[in-house]
């Protein structure tokens, strides 16, 4: 199995031919199972889950993950 490139995320847009190319390429080597859409509803990125347990929820833990955690914390506080 080949090592995926470090930049394996692409915006999920039907007008973006790159997204289709990624889908085709990852389907060929079976890694499509690790392609996920970001858990942030206002993000829309598709990312490759590099984590061992395959439980990554965000395209970026420091970006969307942090943002969503902050938002959840704020919502709890009211
Ligand atoms: Zn994201």
Look up the CATH number of the domain holding residue 21.
1.10.3300.10
Structure tokens at 28: 């060929």
Mean pLDDT throughout 30-35? 75
Count of domains forming the chain:
1
Per the domain annotation, does 67 fall within a domain?
A: yes
Per the domain annotation, does 4 fall within a domain?
A: no
Q: Quick one: pLDDT at residue 3?
A: 56
Per the domain annotation, does 55 fall within a domain?
A: yes
User: Over the stretch 12-22, which tens digit does the pLDDT of each residue have?
Assistant: 555 555 666 65
Per the domain annotation, does 1 fall within a domain?
A: no
> Mean pLDDT over all residues of the chain?
77
How many A from CA of 15 to the centre of ligand 1?
19
Q: Quick one: pLDDT at residue 2?
A: 61
**Of residues 70 and 28, which shows the higher confidence score?**
70
Structure tokens at 46: 């598709």
CA–CA distances in Å: residue 30 to residues 1, 22, 44, 49, 77? 9, 12, 22, 13, 42
How many A from CA of 29 to the centre of ligand 1?
24
Q: Quick one: pLDDT at residue 73?
A: 93
How many A from CA of 77 to the centre of ligand 1?
23
Which structural domain, as residue segments, surrounds residue 63?
10-77
Mean pLDDT throughout 29-52? 85
């Amino acid at each position: 199995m080949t090592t995926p490139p470090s930049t394996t995320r692409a915006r999920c847009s039907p007008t973006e031919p790159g997204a289709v190319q990624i889908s085709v390429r990852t389907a060929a080597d079976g890694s499509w199972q690790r392609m996920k859409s970001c858990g942030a509803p206002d993000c829309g990125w598709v990312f490759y889950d590099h984590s061992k347990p395959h439980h990554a929820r965000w395209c970026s833990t420091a970006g969307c993950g942090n943002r969503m955690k902050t938002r959840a914390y704020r919502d709890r506080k009211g």
